[in-house]
Each structure stands twice: as C-alpha cells, then as structure tokens.
C-alpha cells in the first residue's frame, strides 16, 4: 500500500507539468544555484559578525554536508533501491524525466542513463539542503524567525524538485529531509557549544 502511494504521488507530481514549472524546478534542483545560495548565506554571516566567524560557520557546515553526502552514498549502496527513472523500475516507462531542457520517456541515453542507474534511497539533494536549513537556519534564526522559515522553504523546494524531475520517490525525500535536518541541528549544536568555549572570541553576533 505504501509503495503504491509512493508511486502514485510521484507520477501525479511528475506528470503535471508546464514550461514554467519545468524552468522553476530545474532552477531549484541545480547544484550551482544551491552553491550560490549557500555562499550568500555565509557572506551574510560574515556581515553580521566577522570573517573568522563566517569561516568557522562555513567549516562546520561543510563538515555536515560532507558527512551527509558520504552517509547517503553508503545507504544508497546498501539499500540499492532503483530510481523511478531506472530501467529496473516498474514505472520507468511512465516517468517524464527532465534534464538539460530535453524530455525523455522510457529508454534513457547518455548522462541521463548514468544518473538514472544510480540508486534512489535516500535523496542527497533533500538531505544536504536540509543540513543547510538545520544549521544556517538555526543560526540566523537567532536574529529573526523569518530567516529560518525562508531557508526551510528553499530547502523544501530543492527537495520537491527531485520528485518533479523524476529522480526520487516522495519517501526518498521525506527520509532525506528528516536525516539532513537532524544532521544540521546536531552540527549546529556542536558549533554553538564550541562557540561558547573554544571559539568564544568568534561568537556569532546577534543583531537585526
């Protein structure tokens, strides 16, 4: 039943498309967009404090991201769940895969074949985006709640894009979201603890 619901939700979202939504979700799924957004957040931390503080924030955030990426790879290899667009998926011929502005259905070629034959569970895109939300969102949330909410909305859009584009099931996204946010919060707590002791001179300045 759960598996069927997973597939039904994926297909409903994946097949309900327009040119606008194609562009919208491709924009949010792009790793370059995510890298630029994260860099802007780090620069904002610099503005609110100083370079050394921003450096330590970036270091702890990067550590959380690397840990999440590596753990995601381990889980994907262990679980070995085919992507919905994989040739081994029972719904592969129903998936509308969007990549580089081209649309594929059924048999996939070139780079899209390589991407689709990687494993699905759980979504690293969702996990990493919510590591950022859990860490930077909590940090900037000290200034104002709107920062935390805004970053979580961005992370949600990145995660949802993976369903629309046909690379992940909703359950991949849910688990990735929960895991990533948890990692982000844990690394934030570690940073905060050190900020009060070892990194006391680089404390993040809370100001509006």
191 in any annotated domain: yes
Quick check: 89 and 95 in contact, CB under 8 A?
A: yes
What is the rounded distance in angstroms from the CA atom of residue 16 to the CA atom of residue 106? 17
Q: How far is CA 206 from the centre of its chain?
A: 27
Encoded tokens for 105: 């259905």
42 in any annotated domain: yes
From start to end of the chain, where are the E strands?
Answer: 96-99, 102-105
207 in any annotated domain: no
Any idea what DSSP says for residue 110?
H
208 in any annotated domain: no
What is the rounded distance in angstroms from the CA atom of residue 172 to the CA atom of residue 169? 5
Encoded tokens for 170: 């909703």
54 in any annotated domain: yes
Quick check: 169 and 84 in contact, CB under 8 A?
A: yes
Q: Which domain holds residue 174?
A: 2-202
The pLDDT of residue 117 is 72
How many domains, in total, are found in the chain? 1
DSSP string over 96-130: EEEETTEEEESS--HHHHHHHTSB-SS-HHHHHHH
The pLDDT of residue 201 is 56
SS3 label, residue 82: strand
pLDDT tens, residue order, the chain (208 aa): 666 788 888 888 888 888 888 888 888 988 888 889 888 888 888 887 778 888 888 899 999 999 999 999 999 999 989 888 877 777 777 877 776 433 443 334 444 555 677 888 999 999 999 999 999 988 887 778 888 899 999 999 999 999 998 889 999 999 999 999 999 999 999 988 887 776 555 555 555 4
What is the rounded distance in angstroms from the CA atom of residue 20 to the CA atom of residue 144? 32
Closest-CA residue to 208 (of 161, 142, 156, 134):
142
The pLDDT of residue 186 is 95
The pLDDT of residue 205 is 58
């Amino acid at each position: 039943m759960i598996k069927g619901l997973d597939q039904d939700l994926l297909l409903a979202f994946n097949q309900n498309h327009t040119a606008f939504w194609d562009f919208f979700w491709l924009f949010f799924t792009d790793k370059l967009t995510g890298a630029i957004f994260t860099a802007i957040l780090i620069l904002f931390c610099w503005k609110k404090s100083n370079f050394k503080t921003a450096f330590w924030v970036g270091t702890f955030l990067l550590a959380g991201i690397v840990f999440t990426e590596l753990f995601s790879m381990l889980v994907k290899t262990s679980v070995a769940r085919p992507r919905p667009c994989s040739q081994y998926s029972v719904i592969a011929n129903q998936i509308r895969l969007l990549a580089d502005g081209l649309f594929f259905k059924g048999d996939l070629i070139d780079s899209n074949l390589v991407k689709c034959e990687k494993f699905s569970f759980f979504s690293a895109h969702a996990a990493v985006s919510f590591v950022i939300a859990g860490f930077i969102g909590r940090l900037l949330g000290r200034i104002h709640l709107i920062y935390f909410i805004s970053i979580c909305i961005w992370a949600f859009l990145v995660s949802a894009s993976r369903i629309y584009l046909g690379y992940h099931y909703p359950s991949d996204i849910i688990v990735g979201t929960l895991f990533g946010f948890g990692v982000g919060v844990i690394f934030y707590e570690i940073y905060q603890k050190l900020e009060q002791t070892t990194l006391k001179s680089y404390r993040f300045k809370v100001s509006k």
